Amino acid sequence: MQVGKTAQNAIAVMSYLAECYRDQTGLVSSQNVADARILSKPLAAKILTTLSQAGYVKGSTGPGGGYAIAGDPKKIRLIDVVNCFEVKNKIMQCPFGEGWCGNHDPCPMHDKIIKMTEEMEHFLEASNFGTFAQPGHSSKRP
């Protein structure tokens, strides 16, 4: 599984919401999220909308509205968020080009690529956003 830039940004967004959960900040605006993670407001809003549709974020519109993580951060794995933005079961592409491995002898890097892909997937499955909600951890900007 590859983790593209949008999925990486989604992890950053969720990590901020997990920090807000820990600090009992309440709802935060998409602008707050964007500022905290150095993202454009439209990108932060798009990510928040997708995560809201998937049930990982709750949001409300209007004055006093905003976004918050939709539950205990320990129960939301990184892979859950990544899967909202990436095609499942997509493995890193063979350096010989698409369609080589599986149709020809494996390339010289095949086994290392498979191992790295499995390690990344295991990490994403084993890691949750509770890590960001632990006391003492903060990346919030003053």
Q: What are the residue boundaries of the structural domains of the chain, listed by start?
A: 5-86+128-133
> Which pLDDT score is estimated for 117?
82
Which H/E stretch holds residue 89? none
pLDDT tens by residue, 21-58: 999 999 999 999 999 999 999 999 999 999 999 999 99
Under the banding of pLDDT at 50, 70 and 90, the label for residue 113 is: confident
Identify the CA nearest to 95 among candidates 111, 109, 105.
109
The strand pairing partners of 60, in sequence order, are 66
pLDDT tens by residue, 118-141: 898 899 999 999 999 888 766 655
Q: Which structure tokens are listed for 124?
A: 């994403």
The strand pairing partners of 68, in sequence order, are 58
Q: Which residues, other chains included, contact 81 with Cβ-Cβ below 8 Å and sequence gap of 6+? A: 7, 10, 11, 14, 51, 56, 129
Q: What CATH number has the domain spanning 5-86+128-133?
A: 1.10.10.10
> What is the rounded distance in angstroms from the CA atom of residue 133 to the CA atom of residue 21?
7
> What is the rounded distance in angstroms from the CA atom of residue 2 to the CA atom of residue 83?
10
